[in-house]
Amino acid sequence: MTDADPKATISPVRLGYGSQFKFKCHPGVSCFTLCCRGINIILTPYDIIQMKKRIDLSSHDFLAIYTEPHLLEKTDLPMVTLKLLDDDRKSCPFVKDKEGCMIYSDRPSSCRYYPLGVATLQHKEGADDDGFFFFVNEPHCRGFEEDAEWTVADWRADQGVDLRDEINREWTDLVVRKRSFPASIKLTDKAKQLFFMVSYDIDKFRAFVFESAFLERFKVDEKTVETIREDDVELLKFGLTWLKSVLFKQVDPEEQAAMFADPQSAETKS
């Protein structure tokens, strides 16, 4: 393979928080909304909360109508992507040609990051990794020809992804932890169901907490109980902390391996 080979793979240029670039998207650019077609948008837990509230659906109904389930590569964890329209352009269901995004203030994190991509899931405070971002180089994009100048850090703050990354931090850490597991250790169906419910079906998780024996089996202070009863974000944070303790902390290595490998052992502990 030579440098002239058009099929040659070009590695993304690594960008850090201080890297600078020019970009602006608005209805006046000729490519407006083209980036909303033929896309693969992984939705985060906070994305689901904001989007289902915006269109006034339960999390269950939103998942059924607007998402497709998958298993995240190298982790065996369930995740969801945005379901595209069955039109000739595979469009986002929330985009209009002239108006643009109809839920712009509640759009997903991946859309907010554009034209940047995130090449690492590490968001832990104090981590050695300074962040690995790259440009999503789509040949049709004319936003790079605009004069607005940014650093990666400024862009993240302007688009609100720094806040979203903070809210999703525990979820991201769960994914990173599972990725570090040996490939031979697989999730049980029970563990996958728990992860999916806490991560995405927040209304079902609330019912699980308040309409089962959950609060009898797990000690939760009264202030937290009242907070998570109404606040989806606080419930998500609570659920992810609980999920981490269930899957990773409060069992010894042998029990942990059994929980992931043997569905029956998971059922008897639940």
Q: Which residues pair with 151 in a beta bridge?
A: 20
Question: And the tokens for 148?
Answer: 């607005």
Digit-coded pLDDT (tens) for 116-157? 998 765 544 444 455 789 998 888 999 999 999 999 999 999
pLDDT for 200 equals 98
Digit-coded pLDDT (tens) for 56-80? 999 999 999 999 999 987 888 999 9
Residue with tokens 């308040």: 210
Cβ-contact 144, 22 below 8 angstroms: yes
pLDDT for 137 equals 82
pTM: 0.83
Domains of the chain, residue spans:
20-167, 183-269
Digit-coded pLDDT (tens) for 170-190? 999 889 888 888 877 878 888
Q: Which residues have a Cβ under 8 Å from the Cβ of 51 and sit 6 or more positions away?
A: 43, 62, 66, 103, 106, 108
The CA angle 128-129-133, to the nearest 5 degrees, is 165
Q: Which residues have a Cβ under 8 Å from the Cβ of 242 and sit 6 or more positions away?
A: 198, 218
Q: Mind giving me the DSSP string for the chain?
A: --TT-TT---PPPPB-TT-EEE----TTSTTTTGGGBS---EEPHHHHHHHHHHTT--HHHHHHHHEEEEEETTTTEEEEEEPPPSSTT-B-TTEETTTEETTGGG--HHHHHTTEEE------TT-S----EEE---TT--GGGS--EEEHHHHHHHHTHHHHHHHTHHHHHHHHHHHTS-TT----HHHHHHHHHHHT-HHHHHHHHHSSSHHHHS---HHHHHHHHH-HHHHHHHHHHHHHIIIIISS-HHHHHHHHH-HHHHHHH-
Res. 264: pLDDT tops 60: no
Res. 250: pLDDT tops 80: no
